[in-house]
A and B are shown apart, each in its own frame.
Chain A
């Protein structure tokens, strides 16, 4: 092989190695900007692990309400996955409404008995993508004996529609 050809191949190999090194450095430097696939779970899921055998002296005299600060819905769909439950220790039915900050009611449940939960709901209306801070989950509590309203609670949360 002629000496000129050896020089060309050698120079080319050096260029390739240098370019490869540069590309590798650029790639490593930008790695945090890579496309991210997020796995998020509805925030109320972890709240489901309540210990129903709580030694609380309040069992039967208090109403336990599980809360969260964020709920995630799918955009443009009425059927949604949630995890809303009435803890077993309660002695009341729950009726749960979801209300947007502008006052629109998008969901109203049937009575939920103690130790029952809801995992699939159908909204009154599908929502576009967006974030609704100060949305409300309104719990109304009914006596299991008389079905009269006892009291209730409103949980403020951020509804994320993706």
Chain B
């Protein structure tokens, strides 16, 4: 009888120990916080081509994971642009058009030099990396209105941009 009681007592101890471990497992909690990518891009509000031939793309608070960069391109699906030429039109019923040559540049001031990059395929105008407000590629646009033979009027166009966080190529 005493042997049986000893075995039962030992078994009860074993069950008690295992269940206490199981309880500890169930109460295990992991907290995780993912630091997200975020940034602020500034695009020109208005460019008066009578006053300037250049515009900048600015960036602030660029927080990116390692190995990624922030790429700003001209969105050609929304902008009236083809073969580096932006189409400006008049708002009146005549809808006259004027072309404006556009290219990316490293220059940060208007009229300081020749354009440094003619768009070939992707129309990239600025590339930024983590923590930097200084672009690692381009950062500006140069405009050259194709004025020859164009009739008097006020010509306007809208530029749209595509902003993407991408892996380094």
Contacts and interface: CB of A to CB of B under 8 A. Distances in A.
Given A8-B6, A70-B36, A149-B158, A47 B61 contact: yes
Contact of B32 (A40, A49, A65): A40
Interface in A33-65: 34-47, 49-50, 54, 56, 58, 60-65
Question: A interface, how many residues as a size bin?
Answer: 35 or more
A16 interface: yes
B38 A39 contact: no
A67 interface: yes
Interface in A1-40: 1-2, 4-5, 8-9, 12-13, 15-16, 19-20, 23-24, 27, 31, 34-40
A115 interface: no
Contacts of B41: 64-65, 67, 153
Given A46-B38, A67-B39, A154 B3 contact: no
B32 A39 contact: yes
Given A64-B40, A154-B163, A34 B17 contact: no
B46 A5 contact: no
Contacts of A74: none
Contacts of A31: 28
Contacts of A87: 40
Given A19-B17, A61-B46, A65-B41, A41 B36 contact: yes
Given A38-B32, A56-B58, A66-B39, A154 B45 contact: no
Given A19-B14, A63-B43, A68 B30 contact: no
A151 B43 contact: yes
Interface residues of B, number: 49
Interface of B: 2-3, 6-7, 9-11, 13-14, 17-18, 21, 24-25, 28-46, 56, 58, 60-61, 63, 70, 75, 78, 158-165
Interface of A: 1-2, 4-5, 8-9, 12-13, 15-16, 19-20, 23-24, 27, 31, 34-47, 49-50, 54, 56, 58, 60-70, 87, 90-92, 141, 149-157
23 contacts: A8-B7, A9-B6, A12-B9, A12-B11, A19-B14, A37-B31, A39-B32, A46-B35, A47-B40, A47-B61, A50-B40, A56-B58, A56-B60, A62-B42, A62-B45, A64-B60, A65-B42, A67-B163, A70-B36, A149-B158, A151-B45, A151-B160, A156-B162
